[in-house]
Amino acid sequence: MNVKVKQRIPLKIKKMGINGEGIGFYKKTLVFVPGALKGEEVYCQVTKVQRNFIEAKLLTINKRSKFRVEAPCEIYESCGGCQIMHLHYDKQLEFKEDLLRQALKKFAPVGYENYEIRPTIGMQEPLYYRAKLQFQTRKFKDEVKAGLYAQNSHYLVSLKNCLVQDKVTQAIVNKVARLLGKYRLPIYDERKTAGVRTVMIRRARKTGQVQMIFVTGRKLDFSPVVRDLVAEFPELETVAVNYHTSKSSEIYGDKTEIIWGEEAIQEGVLDYEFSLSPRAFYQLNPEQTEVLYGEAVKALDVTKEDHLIDAYCGVGTIGFAFAKKVKSLRGMDIIPEAIEDAKRNAKRMGFDNTLYEAGTAEEIIPRWYAEGYRADALIVDPPRTGLDDKLLETIVRYAPEKMVYVSCNVSTLARDLVKLCQVYDVHYIQSVDMFPHTARTEAVVKLVKKVYWCERLFWCRLRRQKIDTSVIN
């Protein structure tokens, strides 16, 4: 391939890739161009040449897509937090359907060509939806800035008016940055780990309560910062500190302590409320979470006699939607604080049919089965890395009758379906736009055990119990 970095080339964009970039072909080689849209004819500059593909920077658009819009965000091109704000929102939803189809074609689980992929459910107002964000902090001369790293860099882009961030939390973080500078608290950089490195902020949609975590490399006196924040923002309910002393890219360290306020904030979804401690996971778009959980409830279709396992349960949020509908509900999560929240939430709601344990699903589920517990239904909501290999083996081995997979990464979903489709049929996939203006989507997958697998399991159990099968035949 006779192409060099900095070379300028014309390109016709044939489709869009999984990261929202435009894709075309130059001399039969794939070219990825961030910011370009399907159908456009562009002029771009090569930035990287690999054996099988080229990366390029968009220079000019010679033929413009009719679905291109002007991104309203002033830092859109430098931030990188949103990838497709320049695409009309209706077309963003179609793009997210296509993401699923691309991922399925790549990994090719059995029968994927015939899967029912339902249109993506979008938002009426896809702005200011993000109720949680981790703002990185850096010091520039005498000014502390809070924001996100630009894509593939260590350059911090200051976020002062993010169009997808909740307005209240944005105002609080802006104040936090000024106060960190005013009171001269040390700020993290790559050479020194001792300062404030991250500020996590979350706001509950149901109650409006706000929770904050300062992530720092050592113990610091945050009292003047907290005092000023509390005086100005009555919504602030909890302030915590997390100690992160290593140079790893992990957001949090192991130790978290509350330094002001309540241990948890109160949130609600569907018809129930629950507590969220600072480290506990909850979806960042509460409005669409209502939609997502509603779709999960429809897909799982449980009965009063069913025993349900909620893997990756967090504080119990998605499982609580089923607690009144099933005979028993069990959940696990690797974050002990989340499990304690789940137990407290279940007790407060009066559920006496729940059990929660801290640990991994691949360890806990086999133990439960060894103890005699049998699940009729399973719901999984894993992180972006998808299901652990051991958990996949566990699911295939025990294969509950009904299963719902809630995914935040279409690639790992498609990969996991290859294994799951050994024992399950995919009835449909429902995409939900949890992250407008980004190249990410959520999906709810309804899975039902294959008929032949049920029959095979039936006969195996009879043989293990040494029952004369000739009587049945």
- pLDDT tens, 149-163? 887 777 899 999 999
Name residue 373's beta-bridge partners. none
- Domains of the chain: which residue ranges? 8-68, 107-122+284-458, 132-269
**Domain 8-68 is of which CATH architecture?**
Beta Barrel (2.40)
Q: What is the pLDDT of residue 469?
A: 47
- List, by residue number, the catalytic residues: 408
What is the pLDDT, as a whole number, of residue 193? 64
Per CATH, 8-68 and 132-269 having the same topology is answered: yes
Question: Per residue in 205-250, pLDDT tens?
Answer: 999 999 999 999 999 999 999 999 999 999 999 999 999 988 777 8
Residue 470 has pLDDT above 70, yes or no: no
pLDDT bracket for residue 167 (50, 70, 90): very high
- Average the pLDDT over 118-132 and give the result: 97
pLDDT tier for residue 257 given thresholds of 50, 70 and 90: very high
CATH assignment of 132-269? 2.40.50.1070
pLDDT at 464: 56
91 confidence band (pLDDT: 50, 70, 90)? very high
pLDDT per position as a tens digit, 404-455: 999 999 999 999 999 999 999 999 999 999 999 999 999 999 999 997 655 5
Instruction: Out of 3.30.1300.10, 3.40.50.150, 1.20.1530.20, 3.90.850.10, select the CATH number for domain 107-122+284-458.
Output: 3.40.50.150
By percentage, how much of the chain surpasses pLDDT 70? 95
Alpha carbon distance 54, 24 (integer Å)? 10
- pLDDT averaged over every residue in the chain: 92
Rounded distance between C-alpha atoms, residue 462 and residue 356, angstroms: 32
Per-residue pLDDT tens over the stretch 29-55: 999 999 999 999 999 999 999 989 999
